Amino acid sequence: MRINISRKKIKSSFVGKVEEISGQNLLACYQCGKCSAGCPAVSEMDILPNQIIRYAQLGFKDELLQSKSIWICASCFTCNARCPKGINIAEVIEAIRQILLRKREDHLKIEELSDSEKEDVPPIAMVSSMRKFTS
Ligand code: SF4
Ligand code: SF4
């Protein structure tokens, strides 16, 4: 993947919004990697937790909003507990999901599921998915 770093991206409103929603100081991260080393979901992720923080610092909005990782994260908070800088990585990931959900964008489109797929989805997942659209 080609990565373009620019002052414009770093100063973008996306970076400020992630910090505002998450309540975290992204620049506190010094990329030690302890968050990713302890994450139980990392094998399924396309961008690792420490990379998510780096991308957020640099304003890589599109890469983050399109990443699989923000939906794979189980909000288990292992990364939060391991971070030597006290950064709540799970909240940063939640903030990125929120930015998408507030635009009424979701990774799952219930109306596109077949009847047999709907039968396999746990009811709580269906309820949870629909609740995102009631605020
Ligand atoms: S553990 Fe904390 S400081 Fe280390 S890479 Fe992850 S977010 Fe950054
Ligand atoms: S909260 Fe998410 S990113 Fe952090 S360790 Fe758990 S699954 Fe991984």
Tens digit of pLDDT for each residue in 5-23? 888 898 889 999 999 999 9
Report pTM.
0.83
Q: Is the CB of 130 under 6 A from ligand 2?
A: no
* CA 20 to ligand 1 center in whole angstroms: 19
Rounded distance between C-alpha atoms, residue 58 and residue 4, angstroms? 10
pLDDT tens by residue, 44-85: 999 999 999 999 999 999 999 999 999 999 999 999 999 999
Q: Is the CB of 76 under 6 A from ligand 1?
A: no
The answer to whether 81 and 91 have CB atoms below 8 angstroms apart is no
**What b-and-e string marks burial along 60-94, b requiring 16 or more CB atoms within 10 Å of the CB?**
bbebbeebebbebbeeeebbbebbeeebbbbbbbb
Rounded distance between C-alpha atoms, residue 87 and residue 46, angstroms? 21
Q: Which ligand is nearest to the CA of 24?
A: 1
